[in-house]
Structure 1
Amino acid sequence: MDSDLFELQSKLVPEMVDLLHERYRVLKFIETAGPIGRRPLSLMADLTERECRSVLEALRELRLIRVAKEGASVTEEGSRLLSSLGEAIDQWSGREALARNLTAKLGIRSVKIVIGDCDVNPSVKNLIGKEAAQQFMEGIGDGEIVAVTGGSSVAAVSPYIEVFDDAKHIHFIAARGGIGNEIGLQANVIAASFAEACGASYSAFYYPESLSSEAHEIFKKEAIAQEMIAKYEKTDCVIHGIGDAQRMAALRNANEEERLYLQEHGAKGEAFGYYFDENGKVVHRIRTVGIQTEQLLKVPLLIAVAGGSSKGEAILAYMASAPKQTILITDEGAAKAMLSHVTNKK
């Protein structure tokens, strides 16, 4: 649809814009999570069950979805419409302009913004995962070693990874040795899920918790550690999350002294076990074996995934020193929060 014509139509029938965005959003969620029942879909799309039923009926009559016993799923026609309409919707909604603006301000390769805010609707993380998976499958090319970090945002990517040409030559590894208690969100488990999704291989790397500095130096000389360090030097792609500094410290059961240190030194964001202040300076790092910030500079495909308005400052802190080839996949909540922080800082 011509953008000028759409603008004229929206002025004449302004409610058309809201209806278009609502149906597109619901259709996008069905594509991401389908087949899905009406009740979970209404929660995902933040609609009442009555509103959700109305939208589903309209989409079914347009033959954009099919409704069966197991729930609603997108038809081929619906998939084609989403594919062809996506760019226009991003333009009309202002997401395209917001993405361009942030890309320029952050000085990275690109920013991709999905609908919604993870803090308001956790299901938005699925949209981030789906977009990141697409970027990975399109960009990996003949890359062989892919390192992934832990965390819920990266874990949301693997369900949307599919078997693709030459996936068998890819080897997934953890971006750093596994630590922490949330087994399902550890890098080793997520690396395995990526490999299983596309028929690739993987190797686990476990780093013992609470090692002293002396034991850490000894562990680094072990064969398994040396093998992983060599792989980090040859990594072709990294998919990673970005965390809030204080929240990550709490998840790692950091003692009061360490948390106070992070607060006093202005730590805002965390990635790869490094803590960054608002200027991108590393103010602290945990003791582990993993990919180093200087090694990231040589990695051809870097995909960062993080969303939610509360993550705005954390993402900006990491992005202040992020490699220029980084692709950031985020949501509207985080994107608007970042732009607000950048604007108010001036």
Structure 2
Amino acid sequence: MSLSFIDAQLALVPEISSLIEQRYHLLKLIKLSGPVGRRPLSTMSGCSEREIRTMLESMKEQGTVDISKEGVSITGKGAEILFILHDSIEERSGRRQLAEQLVERLAVRDVHIVEGNSDRSELTKKLLGMHTAKQFRSLINGHKIVAVTGGSTVASIPAFMHNEELSDLLFIAARGGVGEELGLQANMIAASFAETCDASYKAFYYPDTLSEEAHAVFQHEPAAKEMLELYSQTECVIHGVGNAAEMALLRNSREEEKQILTDRQAEGEAFGFYFNRHGEIVHRIRTVGIQMEQLQEVPLVFAVAGGESKAEALLSYLASAPPQTILITDEGAANKMLSLM
């Protein structure tokens, strides 16, 4: 049996493992939050301020962080170390094995799991954004039109998307819509992606309150027809998955609509479609956007959601998700999903 260099080190000095993981975790916190002060780092990491001060002094000497009056920031060397250590740390954490179990049982292309539980930590939501951005950058080559949905988790991704090589992309909203909190609307998020990638975007505004007759007329409007054509050409989709009851509440759905969701046992929501635990569509809101049958033909699909509370919603959507789906979630949701299955 041959040992890797890091395995050999750990066999000789086992306590190095916990020290490496502690510094790795601290570097990740600094990358996500920097410039950041010692006190917030202490709160986020669970270490005392004295421990943080000692580690930061050592890390500054090693050239992995910069310390200024604005706070602590990661250096280029620190970011490179994070990248190099990622696979090894993930292997030892057990998250990779957990992901492999989910891939097999969900029949999707891949699963990536970040540490933590989004229900308890905003930092974990940032980790979801950072990891989605990393996977997107590595797989987007050759694809041009990217559709994104709304929601706080998808909104966390653009901050990690800086890359001049993405300027030829076009970001669009996966469905038309207005009325949600401004910063979480798909149109605003598409614009945010475009800004950080130096790319283009196209907004599409659609009132969710249109009557059936007005909806039929609206689909023939030039703006709607143009978006329908773009949806047919979409090559990548980045979307969240919502809890059915929570999404109905956020959309100020009518009481009779909420009752329909209850009666039909809706658990998850994506793209304005509501799913039961078997992955069947039991309701949909009236909108213009990517259809589920179109999603089956999109080469690259990222489903991004975390938190133990999202487990049922994720399972309901993933029961009929395209097999090319890449799920990016957290330990809270992943462990709960496995327990439910």
TM range (shorter): over 0.9
CA RMSD of aligned residues (A): 1.8
**1:119-141 deviation line (CA, Å, top 9, x unaligned):** 11111111111111111122111
Quote the offset at 1:17 in angstroms.
Answer: 4.1
Give distance in 2, aligned partners of 1:256 and 1:58.
Answer: 59
Establish whether residue 127 from structure 1 lines up as the match of residue 105 from structure 2: no
SS at match of 2:189: helix
Q: Is the 8 A contact 2:41 2:52 kept in 1?
A: yes
Does residue 102 in structure 1 map to residue 113 in structure 2? no
Q: SS at 1:284's partner residue?
A: strand
Deviation at 1:89, TM superposition (A): 0.6
Give per-residue Cα distances to partners, 1:290-323, cap 9 Å, x unaligned.
Answer: 0000001111111111111111111111111110
Moved more, 26-35 or 200-209: 26-35
The alignment status of 1:66 with 2:75, answered yes or no, reads no
Paired residue type of 1:146: V
SS across alignment from 2:238? strand
CA distance in 1, matches of 2:74, 2:17: 22
Instruction: Map 1:125-274 to 2 at 5 A.
Output: 125-165=125-165, 167-274=166-273
Tell me by how many angstroms 1:243 deviates.
0.7
Report the counterpart of residue 291 of structure 1 in structure 2.
290
TM-fit CA distance, 1:46: 4.1
Structure 1's 27 and 172: CA in aligned 2 closer, same or farther, altered over 3 A? same
> Which amino acid letter does the alignment assign opposite residue 328 of structure 1?
L
- Aligned-residue sequence identity (percent) comes to 51
Aligned equivalent of 1:320: 319
Aligned length: 338
1:5 CA displacement: 4.3
Q: Which amino acid aligns with 1:175?
A: A
- When normalised by structure 2's length, the TM-score is 0.93
Partner SS state of residue 123, structure 1: helix
Instruction: Find the aligned partners of 2:315 and 2:12 in 1 and give their Cα distance.
Output: 38
Q: Shift of the alpha carbon at 1:59?
A: 2.6
DSSP 3-state at the match of 1:278: coil
For 1:90, the equivalent position in structure 2 comes to: 90
**C-alpha displacement at 1:286, in angstroms?**
0.7
Q: 1:172 offset after TM fit, Å? A: 0.9
For residues 137-156 of structure 1, give each alpha carbon's deviation from its aligned partner in whole angstroms, at most 9, with x where no partner exists: 22111211111000001100
Residues 1:337 and 1:3: Cα distance change in structure 2 (over 3 Å): farther
Q: Is 1:43–2:43 an aligned residue pair? A: yes
Deviations 1:146-203 (A, max 9, x none): 11000001100011111332x2321111000022230110000000111111111111
For the 8 Å contact 2:237–2:302, the answer to whether it is kept is yes
Q: Deviations over 1:83-122 (max 9, x none)?
A: 1111111011101111111111111111111121111111
Superposition TM-score, scaled by structure 1 size: 0.92
Contact persistence 1:177–1:205 (CA under 8 A): yes
Give the counterpart letter for 1:34 in structure 2.
G
Structure 1's unaligned 5+ residue stretches are none
Deviation at 1:32, TM superposition (A): 2.3
